[in-house]
Amino acid sequence: MLFMPDIHVFFISAGLSILPISELRGAIPYALANQMPLWLAFIYCVGWNALVGPIVYIFLGTVHKLLYRIGFYRRFFDRFIERTRNKVKNKVEKYGYLGLAIFVGIPLPVTGAYTGTLGAFILGMDRKKALLSVALGVLIAGIIVSIVSFFGIEALSLFTKQITV
C-alpha cells in the first residue's frame, strides 16, 4: 500500500529543505517523524534542497545587484561574504570542486547548500561545476541525515508503546 502523507507534511518539508538554517537537517527528520516513508522523504527533501544552488545564483544575478545599492544591505552582505569566504576558502583551495561537495555534504550548521553556493560564487568558481558539486554535496548530506534520522527515530520506538487499533 502506498502511503500518502498529509499535504502539510509535503509543504513543511519543502519549506524546511530550502530554508538556510534547517535545510536537510530539519526537513528529513520532520518528514520521517510525520510518517513519510524514508525513500520518499529522501527524494523529496533532497530534490528541494538541490534547488538552493540555482536559486542563490539567480538571486545573486538579479535582486542582489539592486539591493547592493542600499547601505544597510551592502554592509550586511559584505560581512556575510567575509565569514563565508573564511569558512569555505581553505577546503575549496585544497580539494577544488570535490572539496566544495564535501563541505556541503557535511550536515553541520553553516555547511549546507547556501553557504557552499555562496562560497563558490565568491571564489569565482565555474557556475556549472559548482552547481554539480553542490548537488553532489546535497546528495551526500541527504544520505547522512536520512541514515541518522531513520535509526534515531527507530531507536526512539524502543521507548514508546505501540498502540494497535
Question: What pLDDT, in 10s, does the model give residues 33-74?
Answer: 998 999 999 999 999 999 999 999 999 888 888 889 999 999
The answer to whether residue 164 sits within a structural domain is: no
pLDDT computed for residue 94 by the predictor: 83
Asked if 24 contacts 49 with a C-beta cutoff of 8 angstroms, the reply is yes
Q: What's this model's pTM, rounded to 2 decimal places?
A: 0.81
Q: How far is CA 60 from CA 15, 54, 94, 121, in A?
A: 20, 10, 25, 9
The answer to whether residue 136 sits within a structural domain is: yes
Q: What is the dihedral of CA 101, 43, 20, 50, to 10 degrees?
A: 50
Percent of the chain with pLDDT over 90: 53
Q: What is the dihedral of CA 38, 54, 12, 39, to 10 degrees?
A: -10
pLDDT computed for residue 160 by the predictor: 58
Q: Which residues of the chain have pLDDT under 50?
A: 1
Tally of domains within the chain: 1
The answer to whether residue 2 sits within a structural domain is: no
pLDDT computed for residue 156 by the predictor: 58
Q: How far apart are CA 93 and CA 35, in angstroms?
A: 41
Q: How far apart are CA 52 and CA 19, in angstroms?
A: 9
The answer to whether residue 81 sits within a structural domain is: yes
Please give the residue range of the domain that contains residue 105.
7-159
The answer to whether residue 45 sits within a structural domain is: yes
The answer to whether residue 20 sits within a structural domain is: yes
